[in-house]
């Protein structure tokens, strides 16, 4: 099936559902204007576009982590690749991670379809790592490896998170009026 046609049909089929949802929401919507000064019509704190929370898998119960993104150093106020991808320096911090004997934690970033994988490096003994990533949407995850130089992960996934941009889901296919950020469950 051609992806392009499938996409068109999906949009057209879902449009009545979207409009119906609209009508429901409009009927129930509060009349107050949205304002940054305490209105009920908008989220209290929109998600930070430069922060990733790492969520543990069953292989790392009790561990946690976070990743701060900032634009990599450059002569410009914003750092991009030639193709326009945001070029981020990242700083990872992991807490409470207990590794199996002989294993090291290696950090990776990958496109959601795992088509592009970037090895970010080995987590230091103090649970930190600095790296660089220039993908639009990406997953960040740590795996337990016996070989610290491995070029593609083979061990179990320990913690995972997704880029803030990964929250940008299709309104047509996801449920346009859900306000729960999927980041709380890792994606």
Partner 1 sequence: MYACASGPSARGAARPNDGDAVSRDAAGASGATDGMDHAATGHDGHGAHADPAAWRMPPMDMSMPMIPELMGLDPRTDPFLPGAGIDPATLPAAAFREVADLQDGDTLKLEAGLVRRTINGRTFVMYGFNGQYPGPLIRAPRDATIHVAFHNATELPTAIHWHGVRLENRFDGVPGVTQEPVPPGGDFHYEVHFRDAGIYWYHPHHREDITQDLGLYGNMMVTSPDPAYFNPANAEEVVVLDDLLIDEAGIIPYGRGRATHALMGRFGNVLLMNGEADYRLAAKRGDVVRFFLTNVSNTRVFNLSFDGGVTKVIGSDVGLYEREALVESVVIAPAERYIVEVLYDEPGTHTITNRIQAIDHYLGVFRTEVDTLGTVTVDAAETAESHRAAFESLRVNEDVSAEIDAFREHFDRPVDHELELGVDIGSLPLPLLQMMAVDTFYYHPVEWNDVMPMMNYLSTGADVRWFVRDVATGAENMDIAWSFELGDVVRLRIRNQPASMHPMHHPMHLHGQRFLVLERDGVRNENFVWKDTAVIPLGSVVDLLVEMSNPGDWMLHCHISEHLETGMKMVFRVEPG
Choose among 44, 60, 90: nearest CA to 158.
60
Query: Least Å distance between CB 155 and partner 1?
Result: 23
Q: Using CB under 8 A, which of 13, 17, 20, 85 touches partner 1? A: 85
Residues 70, 86 contacting (CB under 8 angstroms): no
Residue 82 interacts with partner 1 (CB under 8 A): yes or no: yes
**Residue 16: strand, helix, or coil:** helix
How open is the CA angle 75-80-84, to the nearest 5 degrees? 145
Q: Using CB under 8 A, which of 9, 81, 96, 128 touches partner 1? A: 81
**Contacts to partner 1 from residues 60-79, by CB under 8 A:** 68, 70-71, 73-79
Query: Least Å distance between CB 88 and partner 1?
Result: 9
Fill in the per-residue mask, 96 to 135: x = in contact with partner 1 (CB under 8 A), - = not in contact.
---------------xxxxxx------------------x
**Contacts to partner 1 from residues 155-174, by CB under 8 A:** 164-172, 174
Residue with Cβ nearer partner 1 (45 or 61)? 45
Query: Least Å distance between CB 97 and partner 1?
Result: 25
Residue 184 interacts with partner 1 (CB under 8 A): yes or no: no
All residues at 6 or more sequence positions from 41 whose CB lies less than 8 Å from its CB, including other chains: 29, 30, 32, 33, 34
Task: Could you list the beta-strand ranges (E) of 112-179.
Answer: 117-122, 128-133, 139-145, 157-162
Separation CA 24–CA 26 (nearest Å):
6
Query: Least Å distance between CB 160 and partner 1?
Result: 16
Q: Using CB under 8 A, which of 38, 58, 61, 83 touches partner 1? A: 83
Residues 150, 165 contacting (CB under 8 angstroms): no
């Amino acid at each position: 099936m051609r992806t392009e046609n499938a996409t068109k049909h999906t949009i057209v089929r879902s449009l009545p559902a979207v409009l119906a949802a609209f009508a429901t929401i409009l009927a129930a919507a509060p009349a107050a204007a949205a304002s940054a000064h305490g209105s009920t019509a908008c989220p209290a704190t929109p998600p930070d576009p430069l922060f990733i929370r790492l969520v543990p898998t069953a292989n790392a119960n009790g561990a946690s982590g976070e990743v701060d993104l900032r634009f990599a150093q450059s002569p410009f106020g914003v750092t991009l690749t030639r193709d326009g991808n945001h070029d981020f320096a990242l700083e990872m911090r992991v807490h409470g991670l207990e590794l199996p004997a002989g294993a090291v934690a290696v950090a990776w970033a990958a496109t959601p379809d795992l088509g592009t994988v970037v090895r970010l490096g080995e987590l230091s003994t103090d649970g930190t790592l600095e790296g660089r990533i220039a993908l639009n949407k990406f997953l960040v995850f740590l795996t337990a490896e016996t070989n610290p130089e491995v070029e593609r992960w083979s061990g179990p996934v320990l913690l995972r998170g997704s880029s803030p941009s990964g929250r940008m889901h299709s309104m047509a296919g996801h449920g346009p009026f859900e306000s729960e950020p999927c980041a709380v469950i890792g994606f």
